[in-house]
Structure 1
Amino acid sequence: MSSGTYFPPPVGVEIPKAGGGVRVLGVPTVADRVAQTAVAMELENQVEPMFFDTVDHELMVKAVRPIPTMQTATADED
């Protein structure tokens, strides 16, 4: 991948439609998912410092994690 020669193979699974015909559903291979994860990790390492220099880390963590209830969201503010 670092040589720039990785090209994902064409993937597609034909799913029959209720009204006739087929729908092509693209399903990534394991190699595709590994490549996507490697690229995402590298991009995160390059981009995250741009945001963490100006944003409070604790605020950022709370902003990106789902909070199940309002009580949980305000519990540590008391």
Structure 2
Amino acid sequence: MVQLATRVDDAVGETFKSLTKQLGTTPADAMRMFVMAFNANQGFPYEVRVKRSAVEPLSNEREALDFIDVTSSELISDAW
């Protein structure tokens, strides 16, 4: 067994402890669940990205149609 530890601000830690209790688990079990999900996903079990400051417009109708095709295909794939 390996021990993992981290430090967080007091308020963040108290919120974490309170929420895990409300969910019927412990902070240690929540950390174990995160590690298991992280390993199973070979990375974060949710999207991690830099927030864009501005949206860039599509340059023409073809680009818009291509965007729709790709996006709809991804949504359908995620639904299955």
- Normalising by the smaller structure, the TM-score range is under 0.3
Give the TM-score normalised by the residue count of structure 2: 0.27
Which has the larger Rg? 1
Larger strand proportion of the pair = 1
Higher helix share: 2
Q: Which structure would you say has the larger RCO, counting Cα contacts within 8 Å and 6 or more residues apart?
A: 1
TM-score (ref. length: structure 1): 0.28
